[in-house]
Each structure stands twice: as structure tokens, then as C-alpha cells.
Structure 1
Amino acid sequence: MVAVIKHGILLEKTDNGFENEGVFNPGIFQEENTVHMFYRAVRTGNFSSIGYCKLAGPLTVVERSKEPVFYSSNSSEFQGVEDSRITKIEDTFYMSYTAYDGINAFGSYATSKDLKNFERKGIITPKFTFEEYSDLIKKNCDKISDAHIMFYSLFARYRLLELMKGKIYVWDKNLVFFPKKINGKLAVLHRLYPSIQILYFEDPVELTIEFWKEYVSNLHKHIVLLPKGLHEGSHIGAGCPPIETEFGWLLIYHSAQHTSKGFIYYACAALLDLQNPKKIIGRLKEPLFSPTETWEKEGYVNNVVFPTGTAIFNEDLYIYYGAADSRVAVASVNINDLLKKLKNK
């Protein structure tokens, strides 16, 4: 295995009203020795906004905003904006996040030129009821793993779809932009349970209902990674924005294992082809790291390490993650050792 160093907790909740329940799952952007962190801040009632802090080097907090820098602005975000990821493409920053209204969760994004003022681009993931999605996903029956269909089949079997019809939509979360266009298009990882898929588009206006009907009807064509192994027994999702290396896209993602005591979330790693990210060059057979510390095992949600951003200092890849849905922590690994391990898989 690749040696991972856990550096401990970076941020915890404060008495400030917008973050008095927890801080976790930070979006990260590195500018030389400066690390900009846009973390999920939760206040009483499980309402989320995005807080900001600045680090000098990988571990030293030198500035922290006392107010949220991005927050709910419409009904689809009523319960909050969650789990931001930050990517810079050409001269524009892309902040992807989950829009959560208390029932439904959709992938959304906003853009910025300065990391201070963000322009919302809106929801870009599909908006299908469970019944609509079930009809579409079944068209993949002979080309996709049963896990994609079983979940929705259970809803149908117990007639839950009839009760939820028109009220609850299929969740699509973990929206993560690649840091450069691929074949002239924006490339985005997202998660329709339980695998990671890739989406290409030039303009969000392309992502119509008809587009998504065709996409979901052929979901097997868009899958990048399927759950594999015991630690991925429930589902997986994109974690940090992919890192371009000479060997391929380094992807740090999360997985969830269902156990008798609930889910356990892990940090995982894979290496994807630069031109065709659906081509897997290498993938760790075991988690990169797991919840082992008390502050990862105990919190608002127990047994969670949830990676959402990275920074590179010398040969060390620092991975920033949410610990037990309560605090921000960081771990590091030698990036060359990790790439070597992945290339030999």
C-alpha cells in the first residue's frame, strides 16, 4: 500500500451562526503557496452554505471569513448549497455544488473570475421522478450492472413510486469538473447511483430533458467507474477534481460500504486516460485511506472520510476531506508513489 500521513483536523465549527453545527467537505484551489478553501458550513437545522478560509502552505490557516461567501438563493437550494468543488478552466473558476431543497438533490454550478463574485449557472443534472428514471434506466438492462436497476425496482415492487410520483426526484450529486476541456467540451463527473459517469457539453442550454432521456437510456455508455470490491459495496462518487499528470488523470474519489452498523466512507484512487477518461489505466484494490481516528469515526455521521479537494507541495499530494460530516481534515501521500502504484495495477 501507499503510505498516507494524516495531519489531523484543520477546521472545526465555531459559534458563528452559519457554521455552528459543523464544517466539512471543502472545495480547494491552489495558487502557488496559497490554498483557497471553500468549505460546507452547516447551521442549526441542517442548513448549509459555503464558508471560506485561506491557508499559507498546506496546513496553516491564516484567514477565515466570519460570514458565508456563497449561500442559498432559490427554492431548489432551500436547505442549502453543499459540498463545493473548485476547478479553473482557462481563465474561469467553476464551483460545482449540490443544490438541496430538503428532499431533492441536484448538481449545480457557478462561475467566477476572481473567486469572490460567483454567477450561478443553475442545475445541470437531470430532473426525473423515480418512476420516470426507472423507465429510462431499464433500457440498459442487458448492458449495465443490476445495482443500477435494483434500487428502482424495489421502489416499484412496494408501490412506493405511486406515493412519491411528482414529489421526489432522483438524486444526482458529486458534480466535479475536469480542469481543462476534452475534445473542445467541458467534461464533468457526476453520480447517478451507484457509479460515476461522465458528461460532456459546451453550453448548459444543451442539457434539455430530451438530452437526459437519451443519456439515461444509454447510461452504460457514460460510466467511468463502477463500484468494485467490498469497500465500494454500496456506491462510489467523484471526490476531488481530477489532476492532470503525464500518466493520466489522477482521480481521488469516495466509496461507501454498507455494514450492519451503517455506511463506512473511504477515500479511493484511480488513474484515467487523458484523452478518454472512461479508459481506466489503474485503480487501487483497497482504499487509499479509511476512517481510523476518533474524529473520523465519531461525528454528525460516523465513519466518514470524504475527499473533495487537493493541493500539491513538492512531491506531496495533500487531500482535504470531511471527517464524520463534522470537521475538515487533511492527509498527504507522495504523488509519485501513488502514480507508480496505479500504473502497475
Structure 2
Amino acid sequence: MINIRREGIILGKTERSFENEGVMNPAVITRDNTVHMFYRAVKKGNYSTIGYCRLEGPLQIVRRNELPLVSPQFNYERQGVEDPRIVRIGSVYYMSYTAYDGKNAFGALAISDDLVHFQKQGIITPVFSYAEFAELVASQEHLTDKYFRTYNKRETENETGEKLYLTDKNVVFFPRRIHGKLYFMHRIKPEVQLVAVNDLEELNRDFWEDYFRHLDSHILLRSRYAHESSYIGAGCPPIETPEGWLLIYHSVYDTPEGYVYSACASLLDLQNPEIELSRLPYPLFSPEMNYELSGVVNRVCFPTGTALFDDRLYIYYGAADQYIACASVVLQDLLNELIRHKV
């Protein structure tokens, strides 16, 4: 087993109106000794914006903005911009996030060259009804029947005639192009899927129709172990190491008391990230502390960002949908343990 060090709560809610319900699920990127954190801030009524704070070193907060940095602008995100992740590709910062309109959740993107001003690029995941999705994937024999479970089944419109679409969340980019292509993960329950394109303009309806017709060939991670038995999802942006892409993701399993969300680890091939090299057969860490066990949503450790200082990897995560917390591990210890558990 790996020695995980709980660093405790990093950030909590305040009396400010945009974050008086909770803070969680931060995007994190480092420059030298500075950690830039872009976090989901929730106000009462479950309306989300993205707040900002700056840390010197992995744990010391030195600045926290009094207003949101990114807020809803468009109808498709009118109730929230949620759960950001961030990477730098070349000179451009890519912030992916979930756009939520109160009924539908899509993967969306904003870009920046200075980490201050972000230009929204719109929805980048498919906008399909569940019925359209189910028809396109129906002939694929190797898909788990969980794609057709209740959590994905939705009518094409609600009682007031508003359109309802397939939920597609957890968009996470790889931090560089691989063989010239942009790679990103996304999640249609219950598995993690992978997209590779030359340019984001390729992501039109024809692209997604073909993608769904061959969905089984685009699945990156499938559930393997008991702690992943309900579903899994992308977590932190992949970390490039000599042994492969280190992926910290989240897993979910059901209990009589409800779902349990854990942080998990996998290793992907550097040249072809579609190939999973190894995976821990147990969670990297699961809810144990009071601030992870009890909150707005109980029993949640939801990892979304990392920072490497010296030999230690700091993993930032949402705790019980109320706090931002951190856990750390010696990076080489984690890689050595992963190498022991080849797929």
C-alpha cells in the first residue's frame, strides 16, 4: 500500500454571496513556486461560478479573489460553470468545465494566455438526446448494459417542452499534443472515453455520429474493481512521467448509505494513451476524514488537480462537495506501485 498524507482542508466557503454554499473541485496549474487555483464556488440554490485563489508553495494561500473569475454568460450555462480543469498546451491555457443550464450538463471550454482573461469557446461535447445516442450505439455488442441504465435514460423534452440531452461531463485535456493531435477525456456514464482530433473545429455532429457508432473503440477506462463498480470518471489532467501518463481519476460504488467517491490511479502509454499500462487495484484514497464523510454530498473525494513540489505530488480534491482539500504522495512511490500492477 502507498503512504498517503492528508494535508487537510485548503479552502472553505465564505459569507460572500457567490460561495456561501460550498467550494470544491478545483483546477490547478503551477508556475515556479506559485499554484493558481480555479475552483467551483457554489451559492445557495446550487448556482456555480469559478473563483480564484493563489498559493505560494502547495499549501499556503496568499490571495483569494472577492468576486468570481468566470461566470455564466450563455443560456447553456445559466445555472452554473462547474468543476474546471486546466492545462497549458503550447502558450495557451485550456480550461474545460461543465456547463449546466439547470437540466442539461455539457463539457465546455474557455482559453486564456494570461490566466486572468478567459474566452469561452462553447460546448465541445456532443449535443444529442439519449434516444439519438442509444440508436447510434445499439449495435455494439461489447458495450456494458450500464450505458442503458436509468442514470442515462432521459426523455427528449421535459413537461414544459424544453429539450433534454445526454449528460457528458468531466472533460480533461492532456497537457500537450500527441503525434500532433489534441487528446481529451470525457465521461458518458459509466466509463471514461477518449477523443483525439487535429483541431477542435472537427467536433461537429457528423464527427460525433461516427464516434458513437464506434463508441466501444473510444473507451479509455472501464470499471475493473469493486470500488469502481458503479461508474468511473476522469479526474486530474494526466501527468507526463518516464513510466507513462499518470492519471488520477475518480471511482464510485454504491452502498446502503449512498455512493462513495474515491481517488484512484492508472498509468497510460506515453505514445498511445489509448493503452492502459497499469492500474491500482484499490483506491489511492477514499473518504475517511470528517470533512470527506459529511457535507453537502457525503462520502466524496473528487480529485481535479495536482501540483508537483520536489518529489511529492499534491492532489487537490473536492471533499463532500463542501471543501477543497489536499492529499500528497511521493511520486516515485506511486509510480513504483503502479508498475507492480500491470493490466
Q: How far does the alpha carbon of each residue in 1:249-300 deviate from its partner, in whole angstroms, 9 at most, with x for none?
A: 0000001111221111000000000111111111000000000011001110
Conservation of the 8 A alpha-carbon contact between 2:269 and 2:275: yes
Does 2:280 match 1:276?
no
1:85 aligned residue: 85
2:301 aligned residue: 305
1:144 aligned residue: 143
Q: Counterparts in 2 of 1:21-170, with a 5 A limit?
A: 21-140=21-140, 142-151=141-150, 155=153, 161=155, 164=158, 167-170=163-166
Q: How far does the alpha carbon of each residue in 1:217-243 deviate from its partner, in whole angstroms, 9 at most, with x for none?
A: 111111110012111111111100000
2:210 aligned residue: 214
Task: Check 1:150–1:18 CA distance in 2 against 1; reply closer, same or farther (3 A cut).
Answer: closer
Once residues 131 and 105 of structure 2 are traced to their aligned partners in structure 1, the CA distance between those partners, rounded to angstroms, is 16
Task: Check 1:150–1:2 CA distance in 2 against 1; reply closer, same or farther (3 A cut).
Answer: same
Once residues 201 and 77 of structure 1 are traced to their aligned partners in structure 2, the CA distance between those partners, rounded to angstroms, is 25
Task: Check 1:51–1:233 CA distance in 2 against 1; reply closer, same or farther (3 A cut).
Answer: same
Once residues 203 and 56 of structure 1 are traced to their aligned partners in structure 2, the CA distance between those partners, rounded to angstroms, is 35
Instruction: Give the count of matched residue pairs.
Output: 339
Conservation of the 8 A alpha-carbon contact between 2:155 and 2:164: no
Letter aligned with residue 143 of structure 2: I
Once residues 71 and 278 of structure 1 are traced to their aligned partners in structure 2, the CA distance between those partners, rounded to angstroms, is 34
Letter aligned with residue 139 of structure 1: S
Q: Identify unmatched segments of 5+ residues in structure 2.
A: none
Once residues 270 and 258 of structure 1 are traced to their aligned partners in structure 2, the CA distance between those partners, rounded to angstroms, is 21
Once residues 139 and 273 of structure 2 are traced to their aligned partners in structure 1, the CA distance between those partners, rounded to angstroms, is 24
Once residues 295 and 222 of structure 1 are traced to their aligned partners in structure 2, the CA distance between those partners, rounded to angstroms, is 36
Task: Check 1:180–1:163 CA distance in 2 against 1; reply closer, same or farther (3 A cut).
Answer: closer
1:265 aligned residue: 261
Conservation of the 8 A alpha-carbon contact between 1:317 and 1:333: yes
Once residues 117 and 62 of structure 1 are traced to their aligned partners in structure 2, the CA distance between those partners, rounded to angstroms, is 20
Q: Identify unmatched segments of 5+ residues in structure 1.
A: none
Q: Which TM-score applies when normalising by structure 1?
A: 0.95
How many Å apart are 1:166 and its aligned residue? 6.8
Aligned to 1:328, which of 324, 332, 337?
A: 324
Once residues 16 and 150 of structure 2 are traced to their aligned partners in structure 1, the CA distance between those partners, rounded to angstroms, is 40
Q: How far does the alpha carbon of each residue in 1:27-64 deviate from its partner, in whole angstroms, 9 at most, with x for none?
A: 00011111000000001111000000000101100000
1:185 aligned residue: 181
Q: Determine helix, strand or coil for the equivalent of 2:139.
A: helix
Does 2:171 match 1:175?
yes
How many Å apart are 1:163 and its aligned residue? 6.4
How many Å apart are 1:144 and its aligned residue? 2.0
Q: How far does the alpha carbon of each residue in 1:92-116 deviate from its partner, in whole angstroms, 9 at most, with x for none?
A: 1000000000110000011100000
Once residues 218 and 272 of structure 2 are traced to their aligned partners in structure 1, the CA distance between those partners, rounded to angstroms, is 11
How many Å apart are 1:146 and its aligned residue? 2.4
Identity of aligned residues (%): 51
Once residues 189 and 274 of structure 2 are traced to their aligned partners in structure 1, the CA distance between those partners, rounded to angstroms, is 17
Once residues 244 and 163 of structure 1 are traced to their aligned partners in structure 2, the CA distance between those partners, rounded to angstroms, is 42
Q: Which TM-score applies when normalising by structure 2?
A: 0.96
Conservation of the 8 A alpha-carbon contact between 2:18 and 2:42: yes
Q: Determine helix, strand or coil for the equivalent of 1:332.
A: strand
Q: Determine helix, strand or coil for the equivalent of 2:317.
A: strand
Conservation of the 8 A alpha-carbon contact between 1:175 and 1:191: yes
Once residues 229 and 147 of structure 1 are traced to their aligned partners in structure 2, the CA distance between those partners, rounded to angstroms, is 15
Q: How far does the alpha carbon of each residue in 1:111-162 deviate from its partner, in whole angstroms, 9 at most, with x for none?
A: 100000111111010111111111112122x12222223448x94xxxx647
Conservation of the 8 A alpha-carbon contact between 2:34 and 2:57: yes
